[in-house]
A and B are shown apart, each in its own frame.
Chain A
Amino acid sequence: MGNIGALAYSTFQETVRDRIFYLVGVFGIIMLASTAILSPLTIGAQNKIMIDVGLAGMAVIGLLVILFVGSGMVRKELDKGTILTILSKPVGRREYLAGKFLGLSLTLAMMLLAMAALFLLMLLLAPGAFSYVYLKAFYMTLLELILINAVVVFFSTAVSPILTAVFSLCAFVVGHMSESIRDFGMMRDNVFEQKFFESIYYLTPNLEVFNVRGAMVHGEPVTWTHLGLATLYGVGWSVLLLLLAGAVFQRKELRG
């Protein structure tokens, strides 16, 4: 556990010092733009636009960090030989992956915290917009990002950084459309096609589970039961993907 903590902390330090937090500034600009430009165009729905753009902006910025930083993380250390010095110490390969995963997850959590603070500050300035209920949305976004981080770690043990980014982006898109894909399959007459589309639904994580933006914007409640089940779903998928990544990485030839 100590090794995982040390690896997670060093990964966190590296990513934070890589000026990744500048992206929080980008988020601030998005928020300001949504207030200044979009809100006047949507009379009576200014707050809804701000909330929708803000919550979506957090998820997109988090996704970009994972794709750009996470997809090259393992490969970069392999190419530079850092991984060789780490794994020549009494550190297991699974511990290494877990440390990298947790380090980037910690970075994402900190970024999300900063963006959430900025978001709530903007809501405070808009009359009648502030509510603690958005904390649930932040939490769901974090869960989704952690799951995508696990997807990236899984692919990064097997393929190049570019393919990792492409496959992970595909998993993100399919993950948000998996229910539609299953429903599309149900409409097909061919049984094989039905099974094919159904299998996509079951083989990819359904990321719509974490999407509560619609509910937030329209003021619908997000129950604690939903939050609990989504937590189990996200953690379950993440653990499964990390176990698979560990099995692949265990067999990998680490040539500097």
Chain B
Amino acid sequence: MTSRSAAMHSAEPFSETNDALRVVDLSKSFRSGFLRRRLRGINGVSFTVPRGSLFALLGHNGAGKTTTISCILDLVHPDRGEVNILGAPHGNRSVRARVGFLPERPYFFEHLSGRELLHFYAKLVGVEPRRRNDQVQRLVDKLGIESYVDRRLSKYSKGMLQRIGIAQALLGDPELLILDEPMSGLDPMGRREIRELLLDLKAQGKTIILSSHIVPDVEALADRVAILREGHLVMSRDLADLQTDSRFEVSFGAGDPATADGADELARLLAACKQDGRRIQRIATAKTSLEDLYLEAHGSRPANQKEAE
């Protein structure tokens, strides 16, 4: 894990044309309480997000996901590190028009209607007045919020606010979307709709960064995942690698089964069995799930591996 972590800290090669975001050695601490004690938010976080990919920041509550996002968006000032969004430094104002952001637990002006709110944000992102109505209506249709979009926001449920939040993030047709816990507060139906929307946006070529603590959501959506733990980025993997990164379980007639990580280890195990004269009953593949990876990143061995030992 240490070597992986160290690999994360070194800047990955960044290409302005291929990468939507590059974060290098990002650190942030906060002062809290009467004595202004220093609390570590994140420490030495580095990663890159290729254009057109869906990147997930995974971690427990308090792992540093929101702090990382806040630093990327220049809402908090990092103590150290470098952030480059769409080829420009993160403080760059014009680049913010090309980024859509949904905060965790979004709340908006209570006394405006959803439609008024979307028009307000459309003005802020610089959508031309003659195109505002069309663009707002397109998003209203896309997110299926027509039935309540003219109601005041104080009457909205959490799920409705989440949808309005996603709609405002999509105004101005941004290239990069940063969504902090986009599925939180949604019922299973709502989560599925948002999952489909995100996959649709990805298919349109958008780059999406989402933070979540819900492993199955991330596994269903992400191309690449970075796992944060206590402010450190402890693991970063392509999910496609997980599919090929197979583990084998070898069962014998008697006794506990043995496991082998990868084909080479399996070959060695089989050779050892042959030499010892042990009779093999069954060889099964056991793919590494994101949950296994998540547990490993948090210092727990995957459950099926424990059973095997």
Q: In the complex the two chains form, is B124's CB within 8 Å of A3's CB? A: yes
Contact of A256 among B97, B104, B108, B120 (CB under 8 A): B104
Q: In the complex the two chains form, is A90's CB within 8 Å of B75's CB? A: no
Interface hub of B99, B107, B152 (most chain A Cβ within 10 A): B107
Bound-complex Cα distance A10 to B110 (A): 11
Q: In the complex the two chains form, is A13's CB within 8 Å of B112's CB? A: yes
Q: In the complex the two chains form, is B101's CB within 8 Å of A6's CB? A: no
Q: In the complex the two chains form, is B168's CB within 8 Å of A85's CB? A: yes
**Residues from 159 to 174 in B contacting A, C-beta threshold 8 Å:** 165, 168-169
Contact of B30 among A6, A84, A255 (CB under 8 A): A255
**Residues from 182 to 222 in A contacting B, C-beta threshold 8 Å:** none
**Residues from 82 to 115 in A contacting B, C-beta threshold 8 Å:** 82, 84-92
Does B94 sit within 8 A of A, measured CB to CB? Answer: yes
Q: In the complex the two chains form, is A82's CB within 8 Å of B96's CB? A: no
Give the A-binding residues of B (Cβ under 8 A): 30, 66-67, 70, 73, 75-77, 93-94, 96-97, 99, 101-112, 116, 120-121, 123-126, 152, 165, 168-169, 178
A contact residues around B125 at 8 Å (CB): 89-90
29 contacts between A and B (CB under 8 A): A2-B126, A9-B120, A13-B111, A14-B110, A14-B112, A17-B112, A81-B103, A81-B106, A82-B107, A84-B70, A84-B101, A85-B102, A85-B121, A85-B169, A86-B124, A87-B75, A88-B73, A88-B75, A88-B178, A89-B121, A253-B30, A253-B75, A253-B76, A253-B77, A254-B70, A255-B30, A255-B67, A255-B70, A256-B70
Residue of A nearest to B28 (CB): A253
Q: In the complex the two chains form, is B99's CB within 8 Å of A82's CB? A: no
Q: In the complex the two chains form, is A92's CB within 8 Å of B93's CB? A: yes
Bound-complex Cα distance A205 to B60 (A): 50
B contact residues around A89 at 8 Å (CB): 96-97, 121, 124-125
Bound-complex Cα distance A253 to B74 (A): 9
Min CB distance B39 to A, Å, is 11
A/B pair count, beta carbons within 8 Å: 90
Min CB distance B75 to A, Å, is 4
Residue-wise interface mask of A (164-177) relative to B, using a CB-CB cutoff of 8 A (1 in contact, 0 not) = 00000000000000
Q: In the complex the two chains form, is A10's CB within 8 Å of B126's CB? A: no
B contact residues around A14 at 8 Å (CB): 109-112
Q: In the complex the two chains form, is A254's CB within 8 Å of B104's CB? A: no
Q: In the complex the two chains form, is B105's CB within 8 Å of A10's CB? A: no
Interface hub of A3, A88, A91 (most chain B Cβ within 10 A): A88
Bound-complex Cα distance A254 to B152 (A): 26
Q: In the complex the two chains form, is B101's CB within 8 Å of A85's CB? A: yes
Min CB distance A249 to B, Å, is 12
Bound-complex Cα distance A2 to B126 (A): 9
A contact residues around B108 at 8 Å (CB): 80, 82, 85
Residue of A nearest to B172 (CB): A89
Residue-wise interface mask of A (1-44) relative to B, using a CB-CB cutoff of 8 A (1 in contact, 0 not) = 01100100110011001100000000000000000000000000
Bound-complex Cα distance A2 to B127 (A): 11
B contact residues around A253 at 8 Å (CB): 30, 75-77
Residue of A nearest to B99 (CB): A88
Q: In the complex the two chains form, is A251's CB within 8 Å of B77's CB? A: yes
Residue of A nearest to B106 (CB): A81
Q: In the complex the two chains form, is A85's CB within 8 Å of B103's CB? A: yes
Contact of B75 among A6, A9, A10, A254 (CB under 8 A): A254
A contact residues around B123 at 8 Å (CB): 2-3, 6
Min CB distance B125 to A, Å, is 5
Residue of B nearest to A5 (CB): B123
Bound-complex Cα distance A82 to B120 (A): 12
Bound-complex Cα distance A253 to B79 (A): 12
In order of increasing CB-CB distance, the 3 nearest A-B pairs are: A17-B111, A80-B107, A88-B101
B contact residues around A88 at 8 Å (CB): 73, 75, 96, 99, 101, 178
A contact residues around B103 at 8 Å (CB): 81, 84-85, 256
